[in-house]
Amino acid sequence: MKILVTVKRVVDFNIKIRVKTDRSGVETANVKMSMNPFDEVAVEQAVRLKEAGQASEVVAVSLGVAHCQDTIRTALAMGADRGILVQTDGAVEPLAVAKTLKALVDTEQPRLVILGKQAIDDDACQTGPMLAALLGWPQGTFVSKVTLTNGIVEVTREVDGGHERLELRLPCVLTTDLRLNEPRYASLPNIMKAKRKPIDMMTPESLGVAVEPRLLTLKVEEPVRRQAGVKVGSVAELVDKLRNEAKVIR
């Protein structure tokens, strides 16, 4: 069984985000970039399935600028077998990513596609469900446990009220939550081996996919800084502040 796993290059989660001076977006120049944390979990799960003898090949896919090869190399060092970079320099929205992945699924014919449930840069949380809809495949989202037996994928997914268990028939799409596993650190020997693993270069045009944005960002602003809280001396004073200052009660 072949597994397709997606990896996205994002601003490292330890970095404080800064808005560009022209307010056109988030500053990424000279900023440390890394693999999206949810995608690290997806790669780890794919590699574990391969190590358990339930998958024959893990293919890491990314969509973006040429530097995304570094993110793919990280996935290869974690245990993926080869990579595919669909190179484009502009911003790509979730629907365009889903259409691109569908074109790759049609070409690669994987039985399982694993994505992080969301990316920490836009928090869209849309690509996985969109891909499943385009493919007409069953999907398990927000997955915190995966068991694969005889072509049946049993997943536990996190929902507002607790947990939900689903059984899906292959082929299917999964999106991973952080509690699914603990991603491994790539060892130095594996990092060196990853440099020799192949990465296929493609473009959206070669896949017959249009990725032009459908949305226009008018302005990006930092959130208003929260004011410090105050202590009140009595319930009466609290009620007075809620009524007259915060105006949340009448």
The predicted-structure confidence for 95-116, as pLDDT tens digits, reads as follows 999 999 999 999 999 999 999 9
CA 3, CA 243: separation in Å to the nearest integer? 57
CA 180, CA 152: separation in Å to the nearest integer? 18
In a domain, 59, yes or no: yes
In a domain, 187, yes or no: yes
CA 111, CA 137: separation in Å to the nearest integer? 10
In a domain, 239, yes or no: no
This prediction's pTM? 0.85
Q: Looking at the predicted structure, is the pLDDT value of residue 230 above 90?
A: no
CA angle 88, 94, 96 (to 5 degrees): 50
Mean pLDDT of 28-50: 93
pLDDT band of 238, cuts 50, 70, 90: very high
SS3 string, 1-23, reads CEEEEECCEEECCCCCCCECCCC
In a domain, 243, yes or no: no
Please provide the DSSP assignment of 199-249 as one string.
Answer: EEEE-TTTTT-----S-------PPPPPPPP---SSHHHHHHHHHHTS---
For residues 65 and 8, the answer to whether their CB atoms sit within 8 Å is: no
pLDDT band of 7, cuts 50, 70, 90: very high
What integer pLDDT is reported at residue 220 of this predicted model?
Answer: 87
Q: Percent of the chain beyond pLDDT 70?
A: 100
Q: What is the CATH number of the domain that holds 70?
A: 3.40.50.620
Domain of 202? 2-222
CB atoms within 10 A of CB 186: 17
In a domain, 15, yes or no: yes
What integer pLDDT is reported at residue 128 of this predicted model?
Answer: 95
Q: Which of 199, 191, 196, 5 is nearest to 87 (CA)?
A: 199
In a domain, 234, yes or no: no
Could you tell me the strand order of the sheet in which 199-202 lies?
162-169, 152-159, 139-149, 172-176, 112-116, 2-6, 57-64, 82-87, 199-202
CA 187, CA 209: separation in Å to the nearest integer? 37
For residues 10 and 34, the answer to whether their CB atoms sit within 8 Å is: yes
3 state SS of 131: helix
What integer pLDDT is reported at residue 6 of this predicted model?
Answer: 96
What integer pLDDT is reported at residue 224 of this predicted model?
Answer: 83
In a domain, 198, yes or no: yes
Number of domains in the chain: 1
What integer pLDDT is reported at residue 66 of this predicted model?
Answer: 92
CA 23, CA 37: separation in Å to the nearest integer? 26
pLDDT band of 183, cuts 50, 70, 90: very high
β-bridge mates for residue 63, sequence order:
86
Q: Between 113 and 160, whose confidence is greater?
A: 113
What integer pLDDT is reported at residue 160 of this predicted model?
Answer: 87
pLDDT band of 19, cuts 50, 70, 90: confident
Q: Between 32 and 25, whose confidence is greater?
A: 32
For residues 5 and 51, the answer to whether their CB atoms sit within 8 Å is: no
H/E run at residue 73? helix 68-78
In a domain, 144, yes or no: yes
Q: Looking at the predicted structure, is the pLDDT value of residue 250 above 80?
A: no
